[in-house]
Structure 1
Amino acid sequence: MHVTWRQLRLFRALAHTGSVTGAAEAEHVTQPTVSMQLRQLSEAAGVPLYEALPRGVRLTDAGQRLAHACEDILHRWATFEMEMADLQGLKRGRLDVAVVSTAKSFIPRLLGPFSQRYPDIDVHLEVANRDSIVRRLEQSLDDLVIMTTPPEHVALEAEPLLDNPLVLLAAAQHPLVGRKRLALKAVAGERFILREPGSGTRISCERQFQQWGFSPRVQMSLGSNEAIKQAVAGGYGLAVLSRHALDRDPAHEGLAVLDVKGFPIASRWYLVRRRERQPTPVAAAFLDFLRESLAGQNARPRAQLKPAPR
């Protein structure tokens, strides 16, 4: 079976984007070029690799197998190139990082200094919800992932990175604002707005609520921290969000943090990678940079569920 590097890259792009158009845009070539190269690849394989749909394509079983092979081959070759650059005293190559949406409050600010230190490293940052991040982990698409609740069904290495306290928010004009050490029952009748089911924040909340025996009146689920903050500021209800998702002064956003026993809920971001995918020299450089930048903020033990507030 004779194939070229170009065909492997184009097929990987097809698998990632789900369309010939997307693959062409990702690899900066024309659609006819992609179609011709993929047709030659299918002929070399001897079996159909994908099926055309009204919108995009669907990989066949053979195509799925080839997509995994492409990831493995191209990752191994990229690692080799980085190792050669490392032996020459250089740091160059590509770094693929995926983060859950709550982590976008601090990770992009670290990428600037990292790129200044290593200007020849091409950094690709993917920001998505937890479900999308888990799928990326399953497909081993990224060098490193940052998330709060790593999945248990994938063999992973997870390193504590940074505390992510979850606070209880209300509109700045809410009657409970300013009151001290409120009991949990004080908010039992309030409407709650939470992140969508399956998100890291929602999972952390539900685990803690279950431990407390507390059943909030969840009236709305939203997939965006900004949308939740707008709903809370508008007086729709209370919400549990990462403290990092707020301005230094929440009042600037029309919000206030309630002082309720049991809050903030302990949570933490983790630096995650597939166990079988050893860090490339570029990924190792980024790991060292993160540890250096966040030194001293990661000394506490892994967050545990709190006892029920009294």
Structure 2
Amino acid sequence: MRHTLMRMTLRQLQVFNAVCDCLSYSRAAEEMALTQPAVSLQIRQIEELIGQPLFEYVGKKLYLTEAAEALKRASTDIFQRLESLDMQLSDLQGKLQGQLNLTIESSAKYFVPHLFAAFRRTHPEVSLHLVVVNHAQAVKRLTASRDDLFIMSMVPPNLALDFLPFLNNPIVAVAAPDHPLCEKQALNLQELTAFPLLVREVGSGTRKACEEYCHQKRAHFSQWVEISSTEAQCEGVIAGLGLALLPRHAVRLELAAGLLHELPVQELPLYRSWCVVHAQGKRLSPVAQAFLEFIRQQHAQINDLAEQFLHRDALKPLPTGL
């Protein structure tokens, strides 16, 4: 190994990572509470140590060189190992401590905070870094192994993954309370196709699941309205723009308040399982391993928690402890 690499400091790597993430010296300086000349100096010092440039400008945009890409991968591994070491040292002291880096699909964002809160009651010194993305973005982050664990439905079959299904994600049809379909006691999916359907953006797991299911059932909607967030979909349905197929977890408060009506469609709910996922062979941190074991061992209690979550009043807290 080059002796010059041994002179590189963790602080220099932190500054380097900030520039990689921000793709801007000035924004990295703000993030690190440094001056821009100080950031530039740290980058020049690293370049001298490795003997290659790290960044280049094309027009006004900053790009990583191949050397920078290699250094980014190495620095990510270094900081992950240091974080894992910190957790292991805490474990030796008889306590679990550290941060869980969790990426979830947006349909899971309503329930997962309550799931983590139940886990944290057992491990109060664990913190959470939560990233909410759509299905396509989750798959991209998964292939880059950027996080400890992922929670998603429709696990990609073409990737080498370990996954644990742990909770049903029921998708239901909803309408505004004054919609003409609300007067019917029973419906089939085909009857919904006469009305506009509000859908998420391409890349959404819920949209993909609904498209595949409707195609399977030969229910073809002629009018689609694309809306890029579940909250905006709810508002669109309330406003009378059309119908929507949404996770019941996502609309529980609107249903309870009478702002939305769940249509009695014979072919629904459409059930998809939420799964906790990680790459095969990935070395999990003690915190990630503990969270995975919590989900594995508390399966029945998690289902009970989900039922309480679905039927609770908006102002009532969830019960303490699983």
Give the alignment's TM-score, normalised by structure 2: 0.83
Match of 1:7 in 2: 12
Q: What amino acid sits opposite 2:49 in the alignment?
A: A
Check conservation: 1:233, 1:253, Cα contact below 8 A.
Answer: no
Q: 1:165 to 1:57 in 2, by over 3 A?
A: same
Distance apart, 1:294 and its partner CA: 4.5
Asked whether 1:83 is paired with 2:88, we answer: yes
Q: Deviations over 1:165-197 (max 9, x none)?
A: 110111110111142231222112111111111
Secondary structure of the residue aligned to 1:126 is: strand
Q: What amino acid sits opposite 1:171 in the alignment?
A: A
- Mapped to 2, the partners of 1:140 and 1:25 lie a distance apart of 27
Identity across matched positions, percent:
38
Q: What amino acid sits opposite 2:277 in the alignment?
A: V
Equivalent runs, 1:228-307 vs 2, <5 Å: 228-248=233-253, 250=255, 252=257, 254-292=259-297, 294-295=299-300
- Mapped to 1, the partners of 2:214 and 2:233 lie a distance apart of 19
Give the number of equivalent residue pairs: 299
Of Structure 1 and Structure 2, the greater helix share is in 2
Distance apart, 1:35 and its partner CA: 2.5
Q: Deviations over 1:96-135 (max 9, x none)?
A: 1111222110112233344443333332111222233222
Check conservation: 2:295, 2:302, Cα contact below 8 A.
Answer: no
Q: Using the TM superposition, name which of 280-289 and 258-267 deviates more.
A: 280-289
Name structure 1 gaps, 5 residues minimum. Answer: 300-310
Asked whether 1:63 is paired with 2:68, we answer: yes
Check conservation: 1:178, 1:258, Cα contact below 8 A.
Answer: no
Equivalent runs, 1:33-44 vs 2, <5 Å: 33-44=38-49
Distance apart, 1:216 and its partner CA: 1.5
Distance apart, 1:61 and its partner CA: 2.2
Match of 2:180 in 1: 175
Secondary structure of the residue aligned to 1:161 is: strand
Asked whether 1:49 is paired with 2:66, we answer: no
Q: 1:290 to 1:20 in 2, by over 3 A?
A: farther
Match of 1:162 in 2: 167
Name structure 2 gaps, 5 residues minimum. Answer: 305-322
Secondary structure of the residue aligned to 1:189 is: coil
Q: 1:188 to 1:178 in 2, by over 3 A?
A: same
Distance apart, 1:251 and its partner CA: 5.6
Q: Using the TM superposition, name which of 192-201 and 204-213 deviates more.
A: 204-213
- Mapped to 1, the partners of 2:223 and 2:13 lie a distance apart of 47
Distance apart, 1:27 and its partner CA: 4.5
Q: 1:270 to 1:14 in 2, by over 3 A?
A: farther
Asked whether 1:202 is paired with 2:207, we answer: yes
Distance apart, 1:92 and its partner CA: 1.6
Distance apart, 1:36 and its partner CA: 2.1
- Mapped to 2, the partners of 1:123 and 1:297 lie a distance apart of 19
- Mapped to 2, the partners of 1:223 and 1:58 lie a distance apart of 29
Distance apart, 1:16 and its partner CA: 3.1
Q: 1:42 to 1:116 in 2, by over 3 A?
A: farther
Give the alignment's TM-score, normalised by structure 1: 0.86
Distance apart, 1:5 and its partner CA: 1.6
- Mapped to 1, the partners of 2:33 and 2:16 lie a distance apart of 14
